[in-house]
Structure 1
């Protein structure tokens, strides 16, 4: 019988998200809204983004996190 993967904890999920190379370099990361809601919860997710001074937008079932403190402009 195949072993099931160990479920990720919310703390490990957050650490993994913000330690991604793109996040560490001030870039952009994205995650499925469904995964955020299931693993972490939207309130904690938004708290973690806000705590770092980042911005996040939601579109088509994805959260796009801008891992820097620069302003975000919707151009078109």
Structure 2
């Protein structure tokens, strides 16, 4: 658990500083620190298999970005 006095200091920070702290903590984690469930692994395996069996159904990053920008207008 996080020490109560430390948590009180964190909560007293302004929102921008709290966001900076969140980013710093997140960046300190390695991929091995993040658990992946069996269900998530199965989903990733299924998506990879679909991608490999249907290579023409894929979109490039610029295509995806353009679609997202249109949706967000």
Q: TM-score, normalised by structure 2?
A: 0.24
Quick check: which one's strand share is greater?
Answer: 1
Quick check: which one's helix share is greater?
Answer: 2
Of structures 1 and 2, the one with the larger relative CO (CA 8 A, separation 6+) is 1
Q: TM-score, normalised by structure 1?
A: 0.24
